[in-house]
Structure 1
Amino acid sequence: MQLEFFGTGAGVPGKFRNVSSVALRLLDEINSVWLFDAGEGTQQQILRSTLKPRKINKIFITHLHGDHIYGLPGLLSSRSFQGGDDPVTIYGPHGIKNYVQTSLQVTQTKLGYRIKYVELGQPGKIFEGRKFTVYAEKLDHQVQSWGFRIVEHDHPGELLVNKLRENNIPAGPLYGQLKQGKTVQLNDGRIINGSDYIGKAQKGRIITILGDTRKVDTINELAQDADVLVHESTFGKGEAKLAHNYYHSTNIQAANTAKEANVKRLLLTHISARYTAKMAHELQKQAQQIFPNTKVVKDFDFIDIPFDKGEESTK
């Protein structure tokens, strides 16, 4: 599981930061990629990556401001030209379907695959698959804006083969039944409970990705115990009033949220063009004084999200 950032700037494209887009690579887990927002030029950014657009099968749009959606019609069109024929599901605020369909109709673009639209209304669970569940909550912005919490299901524990051998339990099809937690009877009459021979489950990872927002209580709900929190940082220290007036957040507010919500890592994005390379580093330093594991991300940053080996659950 990795995050790859294609746009980390706010408002308009800049020389060093494109507008918002980030991919959650789930190739090892489910052989797919989920894209969050698609600002202008997203497909051009993807060309500089190893990511294949045909692998994108879910697109989550946080809100309908142009710097988060202007790249979507072009990306959908190119995906078709490049051989993508699997369906795509687009999740987003009411109006995302009309925006995409109008763009494709006006340009007479024909796609070689089907699009399913899920326009968000009520907060809560919006997707549940075999390995992941996604929740959405409303944020506080000038237009309806959403944050997403992606929860990986816990991984079942491994079969403790050495323990089985120590107890003289012969290998064979029996092991498969024990791994499923079944109770079996051996030829010698012993009754074996499979759950006694399964290790601890590996706790699944949690990723929280927010749209543009003021500080609001729902952020903490989305971010609680997350392995990674992707939070906007349009403004810096001492600019809380400006951030509130423009419906955005500061780096300090993001850091405080990460601390309160017991987040493991904070990634700051949606950086204003006012913050050049040196000033962006200052944003990071300020936030690190509150939450040390903070990084201001740049375009094309590739963030690996490993399992937390220190925390295991016993499902």
Structure 2
Amino acid sequence: MSLSFRILGTAGSDNALLVQVDSGQAVERLLFDCGDACLSDLPFAEIQAIDQLFFSHLHMDHVGGFDAFFRSTFNRQAKPNRIWGPPGTMRILQHRFQGFLWNLHEEMAATWRVSDVHPQEIHTARFELREAFATAHDEGAQPYVRKLWEGEGCVVEAITMDHRTPTLAYIVREKARRNVDTSRLSPLGLKPGPWLKQLKEASGSTDMVDIDGVMHSMNELRERLIVETPGDSIAYLTDFLLDEPAMERLTDALQGCRVMVCEGQYRHADIELARRNFHMTTVLAATLAERARVEELVLFHLSDRYPRADWLEMLKEARQVFPKTTYPPHWDLDLSVPQQA
């Protein structure tokens, strides 16, 4: 399996995160937020291939590009149409669905499900294109504790944070990799064969398997031959107050996370302004990365109130706390890049 990611949008403009998880059996594409023009560099087919859309919150700089996504997928039937967000997402998205003239829709059959994620439960509604999205069909609520969605190759966790409105912090965790340690075959008198694939895939099987005429217990072989290694992981954190209680909560939630993608809205000299607006500074983001012991911090969602020189200084300040801090490489923003005249 493999996990890859891409920051969409440019420095000082709206941003989003696109994550791809390849389990070997399926490729899952997850989009986090959908700001203005964030999808402009993606081919039409790649937008259509997005499996899940997760909103941190519904301020316009995080939802402004939704129409581009919806234009590509409104009638999609090849896969489920699924959207997640904090309380109010169902209501706001229904307005977005209905923000167009629908007069050729009666023979179209696309179904959309939108979930409001509350701190302890998920409330879901279904919307039908055939009905011009006129009705929010209540599909009830279900309890949840951190784990929001599980796919073929990964799990998405969500933690409710405070941005003067609920906002969601997300963590994508790739499922553990299960591999056969072939060096253990010879000591057990076993030879490689098609049964190895069966052993790897049938994780819950208690059946017996015939290997060169001898019956073996799948469970015993699994215990002796299968090695599990943790999968990759990435966190998406943006637009919330990072005070000490929030720092403690996220430090716990981020344990084992490799990459942290986090907003870099404010210089640390403007920390009081950041707190008043329920945002964080690059230094606070770096402090969280250091406490949570992630391997890499990628700063994004920079404020255009600052010039390029300040962005470079903000990166420098963050690196003093957490050295493995970067901006997205395609932004061409780094301390090694000379300032433009």
1:85-100 correspondence runs (5 A): 85-100=78-93
Higher relative CO (Cα under 8 Å, sequence separation at least 6) belongs to: 1
Change (3 A) 1:170 1:227: closer
Q: Give the aligned partner of residue 7 of structure 2.
A: 5
User: Aligned with 1:108: secondary structure?
Assistant: coil
Please say which of residues 211-220 and 240-249 is displaced more in the overlay. 211-220
8 Å CA contact 2:235–2:261 kept in 1: the answer is: yes
Rounded to whole Å, the distance in 2 between the matches of 1:91 and 1:228 is 22
1:208-247 superposed matches below 5 A: 208-215=235-242, 216=246, 217-247=248-278
Residues 190 and 46 (structure 1), Cα distance of their counterparts in 2 relative to 1, 3 Å cut: closer
Q: Which residue number in structure 1 is paired with residue 279 of structure 2?
A: 248
Return the offset for 1:281: 1.9
Match of 2:177 in 1: 155
The share of aligned pairs that are identical, in percent, is 23
- Residues 264 and 285 of structure 1, relative CA distance in 2, 3 Å threshold: same
One-letter identity of the residue aligned with 1:2: S
**CA shift for structure 1 position 299:** 6.1
* 1:144 to 2:141 alignment: no
CA contact under 8 A between 2:23 and 2:153: conserved in structure 1?
no
Structure 1 counterpart of 2:155, from 118, 133, 143: 133
1:121-168 deviation digits (Å, cap 9, x = unpaired): 1252211233222111111212221101111111112241x4324543
Indicate conservation of the 8 Å contact 1:208/1:222, yes or no: no
Number of the residue aligned with 2:64: 70
Q: What TM-score, normalized to structure 2?
A: 0.75
Task: Tell me, in whole angstroms, the C-alpha distance in 1 between the residues paired with 2:73 and 2:116.
Answer: 22
Q: CA deviation at 1:235?
A: 0.6
Aligned CA distance change for structure 1 residues 251 and 51 (closer, same or farther; 3 Å): farther
Distance 2:231 2:175 in 1: 5
1:168 is matched with 189
**Higher fraction of strand:** 2
Q: Distance in 1 between matches of 2:215 and 2:42?
A: 58
Compared with structure 1, are the counterparts of its residues 290 and 186 closer, same or farther at alpha carbon in structure 2 (3 Å cutoff)?
same
1:44 aligns with 2:40: yes
SS of alignment partner, residue 52 of structure 2: strand
Asked if the contact 1:138–1:147 (Cα under 8 Å) also holds between the matched residues in 2, the reply is yes
Please show how residues 247-266 of structure 1 align to structure 2 within 5 Å: 247-266=278-297
1:200: how far off? Answer: 2.7
* Secondary structure of the structure 2 residue equivalent to 1:156: strand
Q: Is the 2:14–2:301 contact (alpha carbons within 8 Å) kept by the matching residues of 1?
A: yes
User: Which residue identity does 1:58 align to in structure 2?
Assistant: Q
How far, CA to CA, are the matches of 1:19 and 1:211 in structure 2? 12
Bigger drift between 247-256 and 121-130 goes to 121-130
Q: CA deviation at 1:173?
A: 4.8
Alignment of 1:29-40 (within 5 A): 30-40=26-36
Distance in 1 between residues matched to 2:97 and 2:87, nearest whole Å: 18
- Asked if the contact 1:63/1:211 (under 8 Å) is kept, the reply is no
TM-score with structure 1 length normalisation? 0.81
Give 3-state SS (helix, strand or coil) of 1:275's partner. Answer: coil
> How far off its partner does 1:213 sit?
0.9
2:123 is matched with none
Q: 2:180–2:225: 8 Å Cα contact kept in structure 1?
A: yes
Residue matched to 1:311: none
Amino acid in the other structure paired with 2:297: L
Contact 2:184-2:225 within 8 A present in 1 as well: no
> How far apart, in 2, do the equivalents of 1:293 and 1:203 lie?
21
Closer/same/farther in 2, CA of residues 254 and 67 from structure 1, 3 Å limit: same
**1:95, 1:164 → 2: CA distance?**
55
TM-aligned CA distance change 1:195 to 1:60, over 3 Å: same
Q: Which residue does 1:310 correspond to in 2?
A: none
Q: Distance in 2 between matches of 1:196 and 1:135?
A: 29
1:22 paired to 2:17:
yes
Distance in 1 between residues matched to 2:96 and 2:78, nearest whole Å: 19
Equivalent position to 1:204, from 216, 231, 234: 231
Number of residue equivalences: 290
Distance verdict in 2 for CA 1:60–1:175, change over 3 Å: closer
Q: Which amino acid aligns with 2:264?
A: S
C-alpha change, 1:67 and 1:189, in structure 2 (3 Å) is closer
Measure the CA separation in 1 of the matches of 2:45 and 2:307: 28
Residue 163 of structure 1 aligns with an amino acid whose one-letter code is R
- Cα shift at 1:190: 8.9
- Determine the C-alpha separation between the residues in 2 that align with 1:40 and 1:188: 63
